[in-house]
Amino acid sequence: MRRRLELLVLVVALAAAGAFLVSFAAQWWGRAAEEPAGEGAPLLPQPSEPEFDPGRVKLEPRIRVEVLNAAGKAGLARQVMDRLRAEGFDVVYFGNAEAFGRDSSEVLDRVGKPAAARRVADALDIERVRTELDSALYLDVTVVLGQDWAPAEPATHRSWWRRVVGRIARMLKESG
C-alpha cells in the first residue's frame, strides 16, 4: 500500500513539473514569435496606445494671465488676481504697469488666442480686447487695468445675468 502511495505522489509531482515546463515553453516561444527580430529590436515589451475613451473628459489648458495696475489705485491688481484665480485662471504675475493714469481697461492677447483673451475680458466685464503678440512673455493674456475698472458686485444671479446679456450684445454687435 505504501509503495502505491509513493508511486502516486511521484506521478502527480512529475505531471505538475511537466505542466509547468510546457507552460513556460509555450510562453517563451509565443513571445519570441511576437517580438521583432534583429539587432535594433527592443528587449522589453513596448507600451501600447491607450484605447480611446469617448467618455473621458478633455481638460482645457489653463489660461496664463498677467494683471497690471495702470490706474494707480492701491491693491487693484491683487484684487483682480484674486478674482481671476477664483474663476480658474492661472495668474502668473500681478503688479503695477510702467505708468499710471490710464483711463480705460483692456485685455491683450499675447499668443494669438483671441478666444482666451475674450474669456478673461468677460470674466472681468472688460469690453476692449486686442491682439498684441509678445513671444518673450511666458503667458497668454495681459490685463491692463485703467481708471474705469471697478470691482463688480458680488456674484449673484443678477450680476451673472448682466454678464450673459452683455456677451450676447457683444456677439450681436460683432456679427452685424
Three-class secondary structure assignment of the chain: CHHHHHHHHHHHHHHHHHHHHHHHHHHHHHHHHHCCCCCCCCCCCCCCCCCCCCCCCCCCCCCEEEEEECCCCCCHHHHHHHHHHHCCCEEEEEEECCCCCCCCCEEEECCCCHHHHHHHHHHHCCCCEEECCCCCCCCCEEEEECCCCCCCCCCCHHHHHHHHHHHHHHHHHHHC
Residue 85's pLDDT is 92
Per the structure block, which three cell numbers stand in for 14? 512529475
Residue 161's pLDDT is 66
Residue 36's pLDDT is 56
Using CA atoms, how far apart are residues 81 and 20, in angstroms rounded to an integer? 66
Residue 157's pLDDT is 47
pTM listed for this prediction: 0.56
Say if residue 134 is exposed, middle or buried (CB neighbours under 10 Å; 0-12, 13-18, 19+).
Answer: exposed
Residue 131's pLDDT is 95
Asked if residues 149 and 71 have their Cβ atoms less than 8 Å apart, the reply is yes
Per the structure block, which three cell numbers stand in for 173? 454687435
| Single-letter amino acid, residue 49 | E
pLDDT in tens, the chain (176 residues): 777 778 777 788 888 888 777 777 777 666 555 555 556 555 665 666 666 566 665 556 789 999 999 999 999 999 999 999 998 999 999 999 999 989 999 999 999 999 999 999 999 999 999 999 998 989 999 999 999 987 765 555 456 666 677 777 777 777 76
Q: Which CATH class is domain 64-150?
A: alpha beta
Using CA atoms, how far apart are residues 130 and 118, in angstroms rounded to an integer? 9
Asked if residues 109 and 132 have their Cβ atoms less than 8 Å apart, the reply is yes
Asked if residues 64 and 92 have their Cβ atoms less than 8 Å apart, the reply is yes
Report CA dihedral (32, 34, 37, 40) to the nearest 10 degrees: -110
Residue 61's pLDDT is 78
Asked if residues 118 and 143 have their Cβ atoms less than 8 Å apart, the reply is no
